[in-house]
Structure 1
Amino acid sequence: MAVLLLLQRREQVTAAEVARELDISERTARRDLDALGMAGVPVYSVQGRGGGWRLVGGARTDLSGLTASEARALFLVAGPASSVTPVVKAALRKLVQALPEPFRAQAEAAAASLVTDPQRWGSSRFERRSPRFLDVLQDAVIRGVQVRLSYVDRERTETERIVHPLGIVAKGPSWYLVANTEAGLRTFRIDRVSSVDPTGNAVHRPEDFDLGESWRAIADEVDRRRTPLEVRAVCAPHRTGVLRMAFGTRLEVGGTTTDGRIEVVIRGNDEYVLAGELAGLVQWIEVTGPPGVRDHLASIGNALVERYGSDGHGRHAAGGQPEVRFHSSD
């Protein structure tokens, strides 16, 4: 299909040009050109200097039958949010180079319009559902047009503004619009959008904008604001995987200490809650700061000994071990 579309876009192509455009070998290009003729497509070769392959009489045979909107929908699966195999993605990226204009520009925009971030914010267990204005906003991203957006923030205040849609992000069960505004790059939860009115004016896109990289920076900043407390610790080297499962994106893994342990930083927003999360990992992790978290860990340790290191009534059972007290400086 890609070779056929190349032939339709140009009057004549050589096997070398096909190979270069579609990132295949010249031998494969010649084989595919021959296969088109065997399939009944009116293609023929011109021999000699300046020769190549042509469609008979400039024929416009379209094996794909794609409309502009169908081409856009197809190339949504070639983007970074896709769950298709790398082989399918590679094939679609080759095909997009062969699409006739104006299909190609919108197909490329569709492929870059969506990013999926599986890490959810908070503990929501809701399934992802397409919000009301998702399709119209994604259409604005792909066509590169500004929209007049009515938006209800978390305080239930409704505002209206002109924004420049740059991309759509599916994060956990929620959908977000990344847009350029007078105040710079901003994100909008699409389920809080109350109306969308495309203006027809072209989007002003920041130079070298990349949706994936921009979203990572946005998500990191949101995570830092949500979890401003940082706990510093060292961990047994073979247990960092346990920490990753326990804390996800709240964990940052650093370098190796002189005794072979791994430096880590764990983010949260409450010292006592973080101490509770860490209490079950004391076999493999040593908290070095802040002091408040160490104090809470010592308190939790003493409470555990009080409850489970005795006969259940504050007294040690016969033959039991002497009382152990934990201190934050231990």
Structure 2
Amino acid sequence: MRASRLLSVLLLLQTHGRMTAAQLAERLEVSTRTVYRDVESLHAAGIPLYGEAGHAGGYRLVDGWRTRLTGLTGEEAERLFLAGLPGPAAELGYGAVVAALQLKLDAALPPVLRDRAEAVRQRFHLDAPNWYSDGDASPHLAPVAEAVWRQRRLRVRYRSWQGERVRQLAPYGLVLKGGRWYLVADGGRGPASYRVSQILELTTLPETFVRPADFDLAAWWRASVLDFRNRLHQGEATIRLSPRGRERLREVGSELVVAAAEANAGPPDADGWVTTVVPIESTTHAHGDLLRLGAQVEVLAPAELREMLAATGADLAALYRSATG
């Protein structure tokens, strides 16, 4: 552990040029006293490191000296793909590993490329959770991730729409979708997805499993999402949309619904309204979705959905009439 920290001190100074003991302590999450001891150890080992007193002082390496000890550990190499996803990496329990990996990558780059890499980091940022959500935190996410890495079987008590179930799973991979984590695992009938936040209890079993060599996590997930969408929208509705309604639909509608509305739209009438056909999951779900468009949409069919929206409109009108007296 101390050897790793000493290397981190060297890499930080190699990357940043000059740093104070307080800055090093903050980055390494240790006390300044520990930093002083580490600097003394590096001096004793013959590292050309010196300190400068004063307000603008700090520690720095002799100009031109660079350490060659920037090789990745096995764990860091495994987590390399998470280097651009610090938030999800921390949720998985790998924040410290990714931070060390990022430091090694920075130290290994020549100054020009390091500056460009820093410019990219300052201009592009991935925020995985949806608006109005802080993500999908779960106390079981880190052990699930570890089981995925180690190919260890899991026993979980899981809450699904059918109620609570106990499953023994072979975890193949994790997917972050819209701020929510999903475990793709084989419960004996082939791969399926399980929302990690719905895992109520989890036990990592001693048995390991052999992950199928031909299993492609990304390809399986794409096929699963497509199948879900196809099964989800079993019906359709004929609607009229105002120009504002079309704009609003692009903001609040799903990609599939927006694409269908555009593809099926007829010519606009004199007021700019268009008639189109959109897929719906059910009349109940469509009722809630279309209410978000307010008076900028009119349902022509099915009759049940039209009547539901008309009844809601009448109830709202009665409510506001009584409120204004």
**Structure with the larger helix share:** 2
TM-score, with structure 2 as normaliser: 0.50
TM-score, with structure 1 as normaliser: 0.49
